[in-house]
């Protein structure tokens, strides 16, 4: 039998063993549950107090949590001796040694979310109410040769069911490559300098400017190259990327999705971690787009946008904080870019049962003062996760927007987090547009007579971490329209209810 065939056979056996273990564990849990229901006292395991104490004293650390960027997970701890880590039912498909130096890890995700939305365009389209189901399936393989090289592949299949309103690109992408890249440590495995080629996801900071957009049914990704250095006190990334959109005009079955040829996104992002419980980040980002875009002043042309920014945050005792500032300059369709954003959030967690926390936030993205002065002052939010910062209804983007919030959260039990937040929204410049979560203008008062007051939103979320693999999220949001919405068109209040289940392995 050839070496390749032996390796393949070994992998298949490990996967089959894992599946058998899952079935056995489910069957065992069912038997225990049935026994406990019949006799909850006598069904407890019979162990003496000394052995229980000994086990608790030597209990190994739990497995690491699953990360938003699955390629950052590392299962090399499975090479440790038995008892040095807590076992997991999916261990047999993690860190499989194909050879002494070549390892393979397999993982994935299943997620389903039911959404019921009402008047998310303030009543300007019909039907006003729509209830639909989003579900997605991700599978990935991570093949590593020591620390010198790796190939990471991730596939996605995302679907929407019973959608009556127009389909959005973030909702569906059938049977496509989500990520496929090659990592090389060309200076040797002891020097943590890596170059990455191929399709990949990006996540930086609080995801205000660069995010994989996990809330969407389809995650955001790029084609390009990244050079990055990682160490305990300091990280720095250099990247050149091409965004990969989902083009509904060409049909959902056209695969693979292709990068947008007109867009070039590149930059430098650094993070200093040398101060305990604090971080300092600095970045320079550039976006060159030759796609004949329309700017905030109505002019059409190319965009050369440069963003220079800093972020500072951390935690001290019971207080946590995070602040970010960015300035943008360049040219857009002949107008000179002069824009900026500023964000600040913080909170205090009480040392009380249920860990109550009260917090607040302020987010600002500049708008354009005068459409005829040759200046483009509308901030470009780039590739954000607005869902986490500017209301869960996802009505607005950080462009010509001032948003404040106060929030309160607590844990009724250790695995459940309940959060309530109140948002207030204003526009910065009355003659600029109101922009949706995708950065597209949706409302405008050309004479500036509609005022600044956009509206208010309340968000309630309940998140249950059922176990390491499973989670449940329940949420409700309501938006009240105010003067700007009323003066520029239909002004019905908006609602969103959703329930989401996720399973990762």
Q: How many residues does the chain have?
A: 505
Instruction: Domain count for the chain, please give it.
Output: 1
**Residue 179 domain-assigned (yes or no):** yes
Q: How would you class 331 by CB atoms within 10 Å of its CB: exposed for 0-12, middle for 13-18, buried for 19 or more?
A: middle
The gap from C-alpha 368 to its chain's centroid, in whole angstroms, comes to: 29
Q: What would the two tokens of residue 257 be?
A: 């999705």
DSSP at 191: S
Please say whether the dihedral angle defined by the alpha carbons of residues 121, 124, 129 and 130, taken in this order, is positive or negative: negative
Residue from 162, 287, 165, 155 nearest 219 by CA: 155
Q: What is the mean pLDDT of each run of 10 residues along the chain (505 residues)?
A: 43 42 39 35 34 54 94 97 94 98 98 97 92 98 98 97 93 94 96 98 97 97 98 96 84 72 97 96 97 90 97 96 98 97 98 97 97 95 96 97 98 98 97 95 92 97 97 98 95 97 98
C-alpha to C-alpha distances, 481 to 455, 464, 492, nearest whole angstrom: 5, 31, 7
Q: How far apart are CA 101 and CA 145, in angstroms?
A: 6
For the domain that residue 120 is a member of, what is the CATH number?
A: 2.40.160.100
- In the prediction, which pLDDT does 169 show? 87
C-alpha to C-alpha distances, 458 to 130, 180, 384, 392, 424, nearest whole angstrom: 20, 39, 21, 9, 9
- In the prediction, which pLDDT does 375 show? 96
- In the prediction, which pLDDT does 257 show? 85
**Residue 310 domain-assigned (yes or no):** yes
Task: Supply the DSSP string of 318-365, one letter for each residue.
Answer: TEEEEEEEEEEEEEETTEEEEEEEEEEEEEEE-SSTT--EEEEEEEEE
Q: What would the two tokens of residue 346 be?
A: 């913080």
**Residue 169 domain-assigned (yes or no):** yes
What is the reported pTM? 0.87
Q: How far apart are CA 27 and CA 23, in angstroms?
A: 6
**Residue 56 domain-assigned (yes or no):** no
What SS3 state is found at 463? Answer: strand
- In the prediction, which pLDDT does 248 show? 72
C-alpha to C-alpha distances, 236 to 286, 385, 444, nearest whole angstrom: 16, 22, 40
- In the prediction, which pLDDT does 35 show? 37
Beta bridge partners of 417: 463
- Domain with 213 in it: 68-504
Nearest-5° Cα angle at 235, 364 to 273: 75
Please say whether the dihedral angle defined by the alpha carbons of residues 61, 67, 72 and 76, taken in this order, is positive or negative: positive
- In the prediction, which pLDDT does 409 show? 98
Nearest-5° Cα angle at 366, 263 to 323: 90
- In the prediction, which pLDDT does 173 show? 92
**Residue 61 domain-assigned (yes or no):** no
Q: What is the dihedral of CA 468, 473, 312, 328, to 10 degrees?
A: 130
Regarding beta strands 278-294 and 319-332, do their DSSP bridges make them parallel or antiparallel, or are they unpaired? Answer: unpaired
Asked if residue 310 lies in contact with residue 280, where contact means CB atoms within 8 angstroms, the answer is: yes
Q: Which residues of 475-495 are buried (b: 16+ CB within 10 A; e: fewer)?
A: bbbbbebbebbeebeebbbbb
**Residue 38 domain-assigned (yes or no):** no
Q: How many other CB atoms are there within 10 angstroms of residue 163's CB atom? A: 16
**Residue 477 domain-assigned (yes or no):** yes
Asked if residue 189 lies in contact with residue 173, where contact means CB atoms within 8 angstroms, the answer is: no
Asked if residue 294 lies in contact with residue 321, where contact means CB atoms within 8 angstroms, the answer is: no
**Residue 304 domain-assigned (yes or no):** yes
Residue for token digits 């954003």? 341
- In the prediction, which pLDDT does 2 show? 43
Q: What would the two tokens of residue 397 be?
A: 């983007």
C-alpha to C-alpha distances, 207 to 210, 213, 313, nearest whole angstrom: 5, 8, 14
């Amino acid at each position: 039998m050839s070496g390749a065939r032996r390796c393949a056979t070994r992998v298949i056996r490990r996967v089959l063993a894992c599946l058998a273990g899952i079935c056995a564990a489910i069957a065992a849990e069912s038997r225990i549950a049935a026994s406990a229901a019949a006799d909850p006292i006598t069904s407890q395991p019979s162990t003496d107090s000394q052995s229980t104490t000994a086990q608790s004293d030597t209990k190994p650390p739990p497995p690491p949590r699953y990360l938003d960027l699955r390629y950052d997970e590392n299962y090399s701890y499975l090479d440790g001796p038995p008892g040095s880590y807590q076992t997991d039912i999916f261990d047999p498909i993690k860190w499989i040694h194909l050879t002494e130096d070549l390892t393979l890890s397999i993982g994935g995700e299943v997620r389903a979310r039911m959404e019921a939305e009402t008047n998310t365009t303030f009543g300007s389209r019909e039907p006003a109410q729509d209830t639909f189901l989003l579900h997605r399936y991700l599978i990935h393989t991570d093949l590593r040769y020591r620390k010198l090289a790796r190939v990471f592949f991730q596939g996605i299949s995302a679907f929407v069911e019973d959608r009556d309103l127009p389909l959005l690109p973030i909702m569906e992408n059938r049977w496509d490559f989500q990520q496929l890249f090659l990592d090389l440590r060309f200076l040797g495995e002891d020097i943590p300098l890596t170059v990455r080629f191929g399709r990949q996801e990006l996540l930086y900071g609080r995801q205000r400017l660069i995010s994989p957009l996990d809330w969407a049914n389809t995650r955001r990704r790029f084609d390009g190259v990244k050079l990055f250095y990682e160490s305990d006190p300091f990280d720095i990334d250099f990247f050149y990327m091409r965004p990969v959109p989902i083009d509904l005009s060409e049909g959902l079955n056209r695969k693979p999705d292709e990068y947008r040829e007109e867009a070039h996104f590149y930059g430098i992002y650094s993070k200093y971690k040398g101060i305990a419980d604090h971080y300092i980040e600095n970045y320079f980002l550039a976006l060159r787009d030759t796609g004949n875009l329309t700017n905030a002043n109505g002019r059409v042309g190319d965009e050369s946008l440069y963003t220079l920014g800093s972020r500072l945050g951390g935690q001290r005792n019971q207080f946590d904080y995070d602040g970010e500032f960015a300035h943008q300059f360049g040219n857009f369709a002949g107008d000179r870019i002069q824009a900026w954003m500023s964000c600040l959030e913080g909170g205090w967690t009480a040392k009380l049962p249920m860990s109550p926390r009260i917090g607040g936030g302020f987010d600002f993205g500049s708008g354009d003062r005068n459409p005829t002065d040759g200046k483009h002052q509308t901030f470009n939010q780039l590739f954000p996760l607005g869902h986490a910062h500017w209301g869960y209804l996802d009505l607005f983007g950080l462009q010509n927007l001032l948003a404040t919030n106060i929030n309160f959260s607590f844990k009724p039990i250790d695995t459940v987090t309940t959060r309530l937040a109140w948002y207030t929204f204003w526009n910065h410049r009355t003659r600029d547009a109101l922009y949706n979560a995708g950065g597209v203008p949706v409302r405008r008062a050309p004479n500036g007579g509609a005022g600044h007051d956009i509206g208010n939103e309340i968000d309630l979320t309940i998140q249950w971490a059922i176990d390491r693999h499973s989670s449940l999220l329940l949420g409700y949001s309501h938006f009240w329209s105010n003067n700007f919405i009323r003066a520029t068109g239909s002004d019905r209040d908006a609602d969103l209810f959703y329930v989401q289940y996720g399973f990762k392995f």
